[in-house]
Structure 1
Amino acid sequence: MFVRAPQDLTVADKSEAVFECEVDAFPVAKVTWSKDGKPLTVKDGAETQAQTDKGLYTLRIPQVDSTKHMGTIICRAENAIGSVEHPFQLNITTAPTWKAQLKDIDVLRGQDAILSIDYQGYPIPEIIWNRADKVLESDNEKIMLSEDRKQLTIRNVQIENEDEYNARIVNEFGEITSKGKLNVLELPEIQPLLVDKDIQIREQIEYSTTITGRPLPEIQWLKNQKPLTASPPHIIIETVEEDVIKTTLRIDNIVSDDDGTYTIRAKNRAGQKESSSKLNVLAKLKFFKGIQDENIIQGQPVTFQCQIEAIPKPKVTFYINDQEVKSTAKIKVEAKGDVYTLAFSKVDLPDSGTIKVVADNGTDKSEITAKLNVCLKPSLVGKPTEAQVSIGQPARIQCAFTGLPMPQLTWSRVDGQPLNEGIEIANDENSGIAALVFNTTTMTDKGAYLVKATNVVGAAEQKVNLDVKEIKPTIIRDLEPAINATKGEPMTLTIGANGNPKPTARFFRGVEEILPIEGQIEFKESEDGQTFTATI
């Protein structure tokens, strides 16, 4: 127990302070001196002495320092039986000094603002709170001062309470002043809030809102929580900042990639607010590009491709003759973006049929079809049938072709001349037979004929010859073996002949041909073309 406890002491700054105590204890007590929870040591400018036989203990501070020593000091005595401690005050007469000055503070409008200070000095200074030139005192409504006047509370702060506040600390040795700014803040507000929207593709949409806050917030538009700082050209952001912020996000000619969540974010020192809209881009299921009928040679590749606009994205299925098609070694089914492809590395005859595409997104369903015709080019079957006849006889020339589909057959003359009248074209395209029928041949029918077989994937040509032979002339009335002629009188030579084509006649005297001379030599031919006369 303390027989004599240390007493409070007031000394001048930089002077000596001595504290003594007497302790009655058995076993002998250990006495420690501490300030602010830490033992006072030589490093702190303190000295301690102990006369344990008399129970006397001393704390000596040769040169007190108001910043280190002023305040409450604890004297603690303890032994194996227990402990006891006694607080006492060391007051150092000094001008006030700051331990904690006023700081600028941010307070939300409607909340309480608390301005705090801490100091040291002795004698205990007077604390005077000011706003501009007005001294502030507690009014139990708006202004509250703590009992030690180190804390000023302003209740339910409003914009008009924003100002600079002063705390002045005064005692007989001096005074100090501290200033702090009260900033009244308001959380960002967004009006109207964004709402979810459904929009058709290629239409336009606009989000407009007004943002307030104190200080005026910084704003940012986001898509799917990523800033729209480098937005596509069809997304336009317009912002006007005055007493409030008015901002608009407009999306022109909406595409499917514009689907997403759009957010306006406003942030100031008071906090952050966001408002979001889920933009659902819709598109009625539509085939922008359909598949086309294809005529493909057997063994060749072919691709059917379509482009589909639809939101939500559809499930697309290909069918051949109503059987679903999946990718195999020969067939590849794939989708890239809105383009869907069915590709054959080669086609075979059994692949012919109807290709169908069915698109279904749960909201709409549509289908398109096209024909796949696996074809064979026309080709000659066997050898052509040519003809050799005498003039006037009937004739038939022909050849056979195959192909898929069966080819169309056309005839022409190799020399480019038109077919003679009376020639019958006797083609049978179902069986691939191309034929020309001559009921009666003439010499003009003689020649080479060209037959052309054509289908959707190609053509083939074949030359067919018709040879027409002439019938040699036959003498049916020969010249008289001897002719008696009278000088000065006319003489007639007559010969009869036939043949096909109709023959012509020429007269000779020895080896010299007799030619007509007006008034002297005259030639005539009978109407039937079989009798020829020369009159001299």
Structure 2
Amino acid sequence: KGEPMTLTIGANGNPKPTARFFRGVEEILPIEGQIEFKESEDGQTFTATILSMQPNQQGDYIATVQNSGGMVKSKKCKVTVTKTPMFVRTPQDLTVADKSEAVFECEIDAFPVAKVTWSKDGKPLTVKDGAETQAQTDKGLYTLRIPQIDSTKHMGTIICRAENAIGNVEHPFQLNITTAPTWKAQLKDIDVLRGQDAILSIDYQGYPMPEIIWNRADKVLESDNEKIMFSEDRKQLTIRNVQIESEDEYNVRIVNEFGEITSKGKLNVLELPEIQPLLVDKDIQIREQIEYSTTITGRPLPEIQWLKNQKPLTASPPHIIIETVEEDVIKTTLRIDNIVSDDDGTYTIRAKNRAGQKESSSKLNVLAKLKFSKAIQDENIIQGQPVTFQCQIEAIPKPKVTFYINDQEVKSTAKIKVEAKGDVYTLAFSKVDLPDSGTIKVVADNGTDKSEITAKLNVCLKPSLVGKPTEAQVSIGQPARIQCTFTGLPMPQLTWSRVDGQPLNEGIEIANDENSGIAALVFNTTTMTDKGAYLVKATNIVGAAEQKVNLDVKEIKPIIIRDLEPAINATKGEPMTLTIGANGNPKPTARFFRGVEEILPIEGQIEFKE
């Protein structure tokens, strides 16, 4: 828009042709100061130039070339008119009283029509901000109107920005409001490391431009270009190479004819924490004691923390003891008594204050030759019961520990759990079965040393009776055998006793076969004293069982082998003898009767003989 646009066509013919130009069907004719036509000296190039293009002149253009021999028509040329936004008239700076009206106008030339925005501090001014905007796009006139100025919201730099698809342009201008100074950013307390520069900054608004006065306590500060320096607008105070004596309260006073404001801030001079002496790496034998002691300084005094492998370390007497004394400096000691393998690691003292953080670390290497301090033990366990094998190993570095059953490596299953806690290693069975019997082996290997230990796992069965006991019923004097059979793992030891607590009679043979679990008593010749209940007890390492077995001995009724004489003629005053012969088992006794009256021996009168 507003710039020249030239259409050019080249043609030849005989006789020499002429050219005509058209926009659509409307022929373009030369107009002085607006449209120019030119023809080259050789008569083969023709141009039409529109000296100042306007939007209403865009469209499809063609050219025709003709002579007496005929006419030809060119291809269409589509002409589009654009213009990047530009300010014909910019908005001007304005100074007004607070609560009064402010109006800013500008004129912008652009095609397509420009979109115009008014913004302050990076945010568009809207009705919510008390601003109104108007646009006469056909004339390129744009207006910002603020009916009631608010110094807290409107004072400062406002930017007018115009943009379309071709480009953009913006123009800043100043709205000054005659008002007492107000704060946009007050002084703040700041922390600065000793030896560095301290920068105290403020921001304010107020018009006319106020005077800025900086003070330390009651002393007015002036620039000396060495220690004290101000920025050009005096909104920034720089104190170079601050020292402890620079620490103080600083204040600033802002004054113009409408009023004044003040603000203050504290300059805190800090020092980074220092740790002396630094911790050093150490090697220590297991069960010995180690101690770290150091002194920590800093401004302000730091907070300290002991760490192990970068995790907080807390005291746990009597094993880990931490002692800290805080005065002008901090003195702290970490002591570890009765060192164990788990104490191996990196120990760090960390000191932190507002200035920063310092650390010092020591790698503590706990040394120990691989040794089983607690061995696994032989176990005799009833089938189906749980059992645990546990050992304790001292070794640095920490070993890889593997359990074996009968030389087969064991890993955790639903039935078996293998675990390590610290230096204690455990193989636990939730229940044992007969195939689990055998040798349990633990192999520990840390790459430097290797050692192993073994123990026996005997899966056992309590003794129990197999079938029914074999009891005996014999006649006195006959041989007899009573027995019963037991099972168990290991096979039980078998012992006999009488239920009545009496010792076994002589001549009774104990005929046990413990390999087969058979318990037997053999009576070569039975007597009545052998009759009774016998108790067999089967015992192994996991239990015992008892069984009562009866022996019944029957007596033999006496038999008369020589009977009394049917009749005896006795002589008065002479002896008379009655004789009877009999046997039986047990040996019988004899009694004599006259009628129903028993005859008993009477010394000097009646004698009994056997």
Q: Same fold (TM over 0.5)?
A: yes
Distance 1:517 1:236, change over 3 A: same
2:117 corresponds to 1:39? no
In the alignment, structure 2 segments of 5+ residues that lack a partner are: 1-85
Q: Deviations over 1:184-233 (max 9, x none)?
A: 44322111223344556666544332222233334444555555689899
Distance 1:140 1:381, change over 3 A: closer
Per the TM alignment, residue 244 of structure 1 is displaced from its structure 2 partner at its CA by: 1.8
2: CA distance, partners of 1:103 / 1:166: 10
Alignment partner of 2:245: what SS?
A: helix
2: CA distance, partners of 1:387 / 1:18: 136
Q: 2:164 aligns to what?
A: 79
Distance 1:477 1:249, change over 3 A: same
Per the TM alignment, residue 442 of structure 1 is displaced from its structure 2 partner at its CA by: 2.6
Moved more, 152-161 or 513-522: 152-161
Per the TM alignment, residue 508 of structure 1 is displaced from its structure 2 partner at its CA by: 0.4
Moved more, 72-81 or 384-393: 72-81
Per the TM alignment, residue 157 of structure 1 is displaced from its structure 2 partner at its CA by: 5.2
Per the TM alignment, residue 360 of structure 1 is displaced from its structure 2 partner at its CA by: 3.0
Alignment partner of 1:522: what SS?
A: coil
Per the TM alignment, residue 158 of structure 1 is displaced from its structure 2 partner at its CA by: 4.5
1: CA distance, partners of 2:202 / 2:282: 54
Per the TM alignment, residue 277 of structure 1 is displaced from its structure 2 partner at its CA by: 3.7
Q: Deviations over 1:239-292 (max 9, x none)?
A: 333222223344566677666554433334433323334455667656566544
2: CA distance, partners of 1:299 / 1:193: 59
Per the TM alignment, residue 395 of structure 1 is displaced from its structure 2 partner at its CA by: 4.3
Instruction: Compute the TM-score of the two structures, normalised by the length of structure 2.
Output: 0.56
1: CA distance, partners of 2:408 / 2:165: 100
2: CA distance, partners of 1:163 / 1:360: 65
Distance 1:490 1:346, change over 3 A: same
Moved more, 43-52 or 180-189: 43-52
Per the TM alignment, residue 48 of structure 1 is displaced from its structure 2 partner at its CA by: 22
1:454-533 superposed matches below 5 A? 454-475=539-560, 478-487=563-572, 491-517=576-602, 520-524=605-609
Q: Deviations over 1:54-107 (max 9, x none)?
A: 999999999999999999999999999999999999999999999999987755
2: CA distance, partners of 1:405 / 1:367: 27
Per the TM alignment, residue 326 of structure 1 is displaced from its structure 2 partner at its CA by: 3.6
Moved more, 55-64 or 175-184: 55-64
Per the TM alignment, residue 362 of structure 1 is displaced from its structure 2 partner at its CA by: 3.6
Per the TM alignment, residue 321 of structure 1 is displaced from its structure 2 partner at its CA by: 1.4
Task: Kindly indicate whether structure 1 or structure 2 has the higher relative contact order, using CA contacts under 8 Å at least 6 residues apart.
Answer: 1
1: CA distance, partners of 2:516 / 2:366: 58
Per the TM alignment, residue 389 of structure 1 is displaced from its structure 2 partner at its CA by: 5.0
Q: Deviations over 1:96-120 (max 9, x none)?
A: 9999999877554445668899999
2: CA distance, partners of 1:368 / 1:399: 42
Distance 1:232 1:12, change over 3 A: same
Alignment partner of 1:195: what SS?
A: coil
In the alignment, structure 1 segments of 5+ residues that lack a partner are: 525-536
1: CA distance, partners of 2:212 / 2:103: 30
1: CA distance, partners of 2:522 / 2:330: 95
Moved more, 27-36 or 171-180: 27-36
Distance 1:444 1:311, change over 3 A: same
Q: 1:256 aligns to what?
A: 341
1: CA distance, partners of 2:579 / 2:111: 191
Q: Deviations over 1:411-457 (max 9, x none)?
A: 22233321111222232323434333334433322334333333334
Per the TM alignment, residue 507 of structure 1 is displaced from its structure 2 partner at its CA by: 0.9
Distance 1:131 1:507, change over 3 A: closer
1: CA distance, partners of 2:555 / 2:106: 167
Identical residues among aligned pairs (%) = 98
Q: 2:176 aligns to what?
A: 91
Distance 1:483 1:253, change over 3 A: same
Per the TM alignment, residue 483 of structure 1 is displaced from its structure 2 partner at its CA by: 3.6
2: CA distance, partners of 1:84 / 1:441: 137
Per the TM alignment, residue 345 of structure 1 is displaced from its structure 2 partner at its CA by: 6.2
Moved more, 500-509 or 10-19: 10-19
Distance 1:391 1:266, change over 3 A: closer
2: CA distance, partners of 1:159 / 1:96: 33
Distance 1:164 1:471, change over 3 A: closer
1: CA distance, partners of 2:186 / 2:468: 119
Alignment partner of 1:493: what SS?
A: coil
Q: Deviations over 1:285-319 (max 9, x none)?
A: 56566544333455666554556566655433221
1: CA distance, partners of 2:154 / 2:317: 69
Distance 1:187 1:473, change over 3 A: closer
Moved more, 132-141 or 292-301: 132-141
Q: How many residues align?
A: 524
Distance 1:488 1:402, change over 3 A: same
Per the TM alignment, residue 370 of structure 1 is displaced from its structure 2 partner at its CA by: 2.2
Alignment partner of 1:492: what SS?
A: coil
Alignment partner of 1:24: what SS?
A: strand
Per the TM alignment, residue 506 of structure 1 is displaced from its structure 2 partner at its CA by: 0.8
Distance 1:139 1:522, change over 3 A: same
1: CA distance, partners of 2:233 / 2:578: 172
Distance 1:397 1:264, change over 3 A: closer
Per the TM alignment, residue 505 of structure 1 is displaced from its structure 2 partner at its CA by: 1.6
RMSD: 7.9
Distance 1:468 1:192, change over 3 A: same
Alignment partner of 1:362: what SS?
A: coil
Per the TM alignment, residue 458 of structure 1 is displaced from its structure 2 partner at its CA by: 4.3
Distance 1:521 1:209, change over 3 A: same
1:59-138 superposed matches below 5 A? 107-111=192-196
Distance 1:408 1:191, change over 3 A: same
1: CA distance, partners of 2:114 / 2:440: 107
Moved more, 421-430 or 16-25: 16-25
